[in-house]
Structure formats: C-alpha cells, structure tokens
Amino acid sequence: MSTKQLSENVKAERRFKIDNWIPYLFILPSFLIIATFLFYPIGTVFYYSFQNYDISAPFYNSFAGFDNFVKIFTEDKLFFPSLLTSLKWVVSQVGLQLIFGLIFALLLNQTFRLRGFVRAIAFIPWAISGVLASVMWSLMYNEHMGVFNDILMKLGIISEPQAFLAGTTSAFISVIIAELWRGIPFFAITLLASLQSIPEELYEASEIDGASKWESFVHITLPHLKNTIVLTTLLRTVWEFNNVDLIFNLTGGGPANSTTTLTMYIANLAINGSDFGYGSALTVISFVLLFAFAIFYLKITRYERED
C-alpha cells in the first residue's frame, strides 16, 4: 500500500469517526435541557427526602436518613386519608372523562353541518389554563352571585343559595365537575383522531354481514381504540394524580381536608409549612406509586400487543 493510499485511508477513518459523533452533537442541547430541568430537580427531591430541611427553622436542618419515611407511615395522620382522596379523585376523573370523551368523540366523528366549528368549540376547555378555569368556576359556584344557584333556584330545586365549596361532600363533587369540564376534551381530541384512522370499509363490511351498530362498536371501534385508550388513561391518571392548580384555587384542600389529595397535601407542606424535607419524602412515595402503577397497567393491558 502506497503512502498516498495510507493517508487517504486514515482521513476516511477520521471522517467516519466524526460522522458517528455528529448525531450526538445535535441531541446534546436537548439532553442538557432535560438534564437541567428534569433529572436535576428529580435528583434534588430524592436528596432532600433524606434530609431535615425546613427553611423556617434552618438550625434544625440535618441528615435524617429514613426518618421522614418512617414518620409518614407511622405518625402522619393525613397521609393515608389524602392518598385515599387521591384514589377517589383519579378513579372518578379518569373514568368519567373517558366515558364522556368517547361519547363526544363519536358524536364529533359524524358528518353534519358546521362540524369544524363545533369541534373547535368543544375543544376550548382544554386550551384554558387551570388558574383561569378555577376563577371561572369559583364565580359560578359563588353563593351570592353564582349562576348555578340562580338556575337551581329558578327551577325550584333549592329554596336558598348554597355554598357548594363549603360542604365536605358538595365541595368534592363540585371540584370533580369543574375538572371534568376541563379534562373531557383531552379524551375527545385523542379518541377522535384515532376514530378517523379506522377504515370505513370495515363498517361497510359489518353492515353487509348484518351486524348492528352496537356490534360494530364492540368488535371494530373498541379494538382499534384500545392502544389510544390505554395511553390516554395512563397519561391522564398521572396528570390527575398530580393535579393541584384547580383544587388549590377552589378549595385549598378544604373544607376539613375533604379535597386534600396527596399532591395537595405536599403543596400545603411546601407553601404553608416550608418543610421541604418531609414534602420531598412524600413526593418520592408518589413517584414510586405512579411508576409502579404505570408498569403494572401497561402489562395487564398488553399495550401495543395484538390480542
């Protein structure tokens, strides 16, 4: 091999090595952003969960080991009730949002006049921020000038104005209704997109074979929507479990902790109690619970597997 050929081979090898590194250079900025705003905060939470870290009493800050976790399961009287409230909140929200979202998606998938306009209107609640939605629903629930009291009194259902957000039962139901209004469009959007990917020939063939609308829905529509339903319910479960903005602005976790979910409890500890060490330990438990649920849920639903 000549010197010229050897030099060309060396240059080609260098170019090959450089070309191999170019894709990694392109994704480096994204990785740095994710590491800065995701991995580092998560690592910080895990670190502080093993610390006594209270900004209102810095002289007591020290390494706590597993003391925060032991306290949660043995001494904390609000942990298990707030976890139960979170469970009721997530089940009611995800279940009802899925049902109503599927109904809306099926209706919006039909052909009718002004369909595009109706679809745009139906998706507006999803575009409204949680704080703005909280203010709007707080005004509607208002005992003195709220529209719900006005309508119910005119219909003769109630005889005097009600403070919907003041009762332990009515407050939880009221917050559920407000979040339903905001969350249903998410399922409607995703399910509608999936419905439009189902070949029309399948419905035509089932109609020729004499299948009813219900049979077509069960044997054609639902199987095609399976992966979408699994993914959206999983995402919504995580989001609703971590939901704090609407509850915080409407009730603050009250009255009598009736709307205090685990996330709301953590927020109150951080904002009002300033006990970030204990709050971080609660956050770690929430993370472990959600992570375990996600793995279990994807396994039992056989996500992206053909039955």
Into how many domains does the chain fold?
2
Report if residue 144 sits inside a domain: yes
Q: Can you give the pLDDT at residue 82?
A: 93
Q: Can you give the pLDDT at residue 184?
A: 92
Q: Is the domain of 12 the same as that of 150? A: no
DSSP letter at 273 equals: I
Report if residue 86 sits inside a domain: yes
Q: Is the domain of 39 the same as that of 79? A: no
Q: Can you give the pLDDT at residue 285?
A: 93
Averaged pLDDT, groups of 10, the chain, 307 residues long:
54 61 79 83 88 77 86 91 94 94 90 82 85 89 86 86 86 92 91 89 83 85 89 92 89 87 88 82 92 91 66
Q: Distance between alpha carbon 205 and the CA centroid of its chain, in Å?
A: 38
Report if residue 65 sits inside a domain: no
Q: Is the domain of 35 the same as that of 174? A: no
Interhelix angle 222-241/276-300, rounded to 10 degrees, is: 170
Q: Is the domain of 94 the same as that of 41? A: no
Q: Is the domain of 22 the same as that of 129? A: no
Q: What is the pLDDT of residues 183-210, one digit of tens each?
A: 999 999 999 989 988 888 888 888 888 8
CA distance 209 to 41: 57
Q: Is the domain of 111 the same as that of 179? A: yes
Distances (CA, A) of 168 to 41, 81, 88, 115, 121: 35, 14, 14, 41, 33
Report if residue 307 sits inside a domain: no
Report if residue 59 sits inside a domain: no
Report if residue 57 sits inside a domain: no
Q: Is the domain of 212 the same as that of 253? A: yes
Q: Is the domain of 25 the same as that of 133? A: no
Report if residue 67 sits inside a domain: no
CA distance 209 to 189: 31
Q: Is the domain of 12 the same as that of 124? A: no
pTM of the model: 0.84
Q: Is the domain of 229 the same as that of 95? A: yes
Domain membership of residue 31 as a residue range: 3-48
Residue whose token pair is 């899925």 = 98
Q: What is the pLDDT of residues 115-129, one digit of tens each?
A: 888 888 888 888 888
Q: Is the domain of 87 the same as that of 197? A: yes
Q: What is the CA radius of gyration of the chain?
A: 26
